[in-house]
Amino acid sequence: MTNFIHSLLNFKKMSPAQKIAASFLLVILCGALLLTLPISTKNGSFFHPLDALFTATSATCVTGLSTVTVADTFNTFGQIVILLLIQIGGLGLMTFMAVFVLIIRNRLSMNEKIVMREMLNQDHVVNMKKFLQDILYYTLFFESVGAILIAFRMIPRFGLLDGGFKAVFLSVSAFCNAGFDTLGSVSLQQYVHDPLMCFTIMGLIVLGGIGFAVWFDIRDKIKPLVKRQISFEKFKHSLSLHTKIVISVSLTLILVPGLLILLLEFANPHTLGDFNIFEKTMTAMFESIALRTAGFTTINYGGLRPATDLLMMVVMFIGGSPGGTAGGIKTTTIAVIVIYMLSALKGREKTVVLRRTIGNSIVIRAMGIFFINLVTLLTGIFLLNIVEGKPFISLAFEAVSAMATVGSSLGITATLGVGGKLIIILLMYVGRIGISTLILSLTRPKPGLDKSTKVSYPNGNIIVG
């Protein structure tokens, strides 16, 4: 912690992990300060600092949990602050800073490129300038299209200015997987039967959560397919292994939980019981997609069956894909672990998928991410149960939602005490920047230590299983 605070005084000397952690912390603190001021609230009074910090953290970490109703508490200025926090948090302050640097001097230093690769979860980016420009361009494009579609519902109901702003807010929030809205305390429940709203929000969530690298890989490879220069089979074969894994796992995590939610809640009068079959299917798929880290809901989670709550926690913990706006341990992490387990069960010495060998370093990293996140989450749930006298399932759900930056809740966020709010704030922050990034930002290798030491030790035998 001392190393991190000391580094804050000299940004240039920070490690990439420290710059990422510090940039999010800076945005959160600035946002909290603005939300505290009377110019942000509807009643013109100071907003409670802890609730302001909670809201700013939730917006910057694109979570969606809130101790207050945004539409009832904040005026237009306050909502614009939250909108900016969501946009900056979704893409990362370092992304905007890098673009600004490119505009000023038209190039990035090697250290800045390393930071951006860490920020965007990319191992290899040949042209960082074009990559960043494409991110901003496609983000603006998707959010604009989403806002236009949502405006068909917002403007007739709220008028041109207010309805237009609500459409933009919802589109940005959905694309950044934030889960915030300015519609009131019932979120999107009033649009549960509206295909235009539901499918637009679903599309934005998927596009934002699938990862920038996947967009660009598909974009670059699909041109010959559209021109009929290659077959669809060749198009699939040309995609990178990362893209194939992300698409396969994402589809699985949409369809399987969606079908399970449909079956579990099919006859539940508090959720899907009164809907027709199309509305039941659409709603189940909406919740399955939103659980991937978006936090929007078209049904009342307070009426869900316990089995559905557990299913949702598993889906939230996995989250979206790396390099996008989603949280969780990521689809590729769980995919690598499952592939490794299947390879081990088949007696293979190497981890193989789609005729490609996954390196041991990737497998170890995936297992480390899974284990560290699980331990951190269980610690958070344990602490919440100490400071809050609420049902275990509700607190566990809240903790998973916070750390996976989802924003879904069983309705206890507004009733959390000081200790509970602080724990959730920490979980949201850790979940957004990544637990490995946080650990690296708080530690510094001791000088003189050679990580690649050539010292070898005798093999040790441990009985496991």
Tens digits of per-residue pLDDT, 76-114?
A: 999 999 999 999 888 766 566 666 555 555 565 555 555
Quick: pLDDT tens for 109-138. Answer: 555 555 555 555 555 555 667 777 888 888
Contacts of 54 (CB under 8 A, 6+ apart): 65, 66, 67, 421, 424, 425
Q: Indicate if the pLDDT at residue 306 is higher than 70.
A: yes
Is the whole model's pTM more than 0.75, yes or no?
Answer: yes
Is pLDDT larger for residue 442 or for residue 290? 290
**Tokens 């926090």 -> residue:** 85
Percentage of the chain with pLDDT > 70?
Answer: 83
Percent of the chain clearing pLDDT 90 (strictly above): 47
- CB-CB contact of 292 with 205 (8 Å): yes
419, 387 in Cβ contact below 8 A? Answer: yes
58 within 8 A of 66, measured Cβ to Cβ: yes
SS (H, E, C) the chain: CHHHHHHHCCHHHCCHHHHHHHHHHHHHHHHHHHHHCHHHECCCCCCCHHHHHHHHHHHHCCCCCCCCCHHHHECHHHHHHHHHHHHHHHHCHHHHHHHHHHHHHCCCCHHHHHHHHHHCCCCCCCCHHHHHHHHHHHHHHHHHHHHHHHHHHHHHHHCHHHHHHHHHHHHHHHHCCCCCCCCCCCCCHHHCCCHHHHHHHHHHHHHHHCCHHHHHHHHHHHHHHHCCCCCHHHHHHHCCHHHHHHHHHHHHHHHHHHHHHHHHHCCCCCCCCCCCHHHHHHHHHHHHHHCCCCCCCCCCHHHCCHHHHHHHHHHHHHCCCCCCCCCCCCHHHHHHHHHHHHHHHCCCCCEEECCEEECHHHHHHHHHHHHHHHHHHHHHHHHHHHHCCCCHHHHHHHHHHHHCCCCCCCCCHHHCCHHHHHHHHHHHHHHHHCHHHHHHHHCCCCCCCCCCCCCCCCCCCCCCC
* CA 282 to mean position of chain CA atoms: 22
Nearest alpha carbon to residue 401 among 323, 308, 304, 328: 328
Mean pLDDT, rounded, of the chain: 84
Across the range 376-402, mean pLDDT stands at 94
Distance CA 163, CA 158 (A): 5
Higher pLDDT among residues 37 and 463, named by residue: 37
Q: Confidence class of residue 5 from pLDDT cuts 50, 70 and 90? A: very low
Cα–Cα distance for residue pair 295/233, rounded to 1 Å: 36
Q: How far is CA 427 from CA 239, 383, 391, in A?
A: 35, 11, 19
Which of the residue ranges 31-35, 45-49, 387-391, 453-457 would you say has the lowest mean pLDDT? 453-457
What phi, psi does 305 have (nearest 5°)?
-75, 150
| Token pair recorded at residue 431 | 């979940």
**How many alpha carbons lie under 13 Å from residue 221 in its C-beta half-sphere?**
18
Of 12-16, 155-159, 340-344, least confident by mean pLDDT is 12-16
pLDDT for residue 8: 47
- Chain centre distance of CA 62: 6
The token duo for 109 is 């230093």
Question: Residue 330: pLDDT above 70?
Answer: yes
- For residues 70 and 51, is the Cβ–Cβ distance under 8 A? no
Looking at residue 247, its amino acid is I
